[in-house]
Amino acid sequence: MRPQGQAILKSAILGLVAGGLAACFGPSEEGSETFGYVDPNDPQVAAATAEALKHLPAFWSKFDSKAPGCSDFTIKVELPTDAGKLPEAIWVDVLEHPSTGKIVGRLANEPVNIAALHEGDRVEVDPSRIVDWSYTRGEVTYGHFTTRALFKYMPADARAKLEAWLPPTPLEPQLN
């Protein structure tokens, strides 16, 4: 992800954690991250996940073919937490996508409720854990279906940054 986009994404929303969806809304005045919890059964998030999974083959096609101009392939996956209840959703930079087996990547953000894992750690994840995806073509980042569904929970400033950074729709025009 290009540095500006990565900073915007990290300052606006990082993932989902146990106890419900927890959106990271950026640093507080003290410098620590602030989190807001949202309903884990939110119908808009469920619909966004379903839409992301519907278009997942197009994402993998671009990754596997090394589509010209495309980079920064990430997936959002649900991982078990230390509490063992609701999973935490984490963005993973994809390194390898075998035709069978687990996807290999590096955590793109710091987990909140998984003490043994840290940003940058190498992980192997089952494809069934994917809930969202993104990639960049040129200066535009596509995907982030669930991020868009969480806009309604974000403070106005965080939402405005993301809305300015993301295109109006999560799919490239030829995929709509």
Provide the residue range defining the domain that includes 62.
Answer: 3-166
Query: Is 176 inside a domain boundary?
Result: no
Token digits for 90? 């984490």
d(CA 72, CA 141): 9
Query: Is 172 inside a domain boundary?
Result: no
Query: Is 49 inside a domain boundary?
Result: yes
pLDDT tens for each residue of 59-88: 999 999 999 999 999 999 989 888 877 788
Query: Is 160 inside a domain boundary?
Result: yes
pLDDT tens for each residue of 1-29: 444 444 445 444 444 333 344 444 444 44
Q: Which position has the token pair 């935490």?
A: 88
Query: Is 137 inside a domain boundary?
Result: yes
The pLDDT, as a whole number, for residue 175 is: 59
Query: Is 135 inside a domain boundary?
Result: yes
Query: Is 175 inside a domain boundary?
Result: no
d(CA 13, CA 157): 12
Query: Is 173 inside a domain boundary?
Result: no
The reported pTM is 0.82
Domains identified in the chain, total number: 1
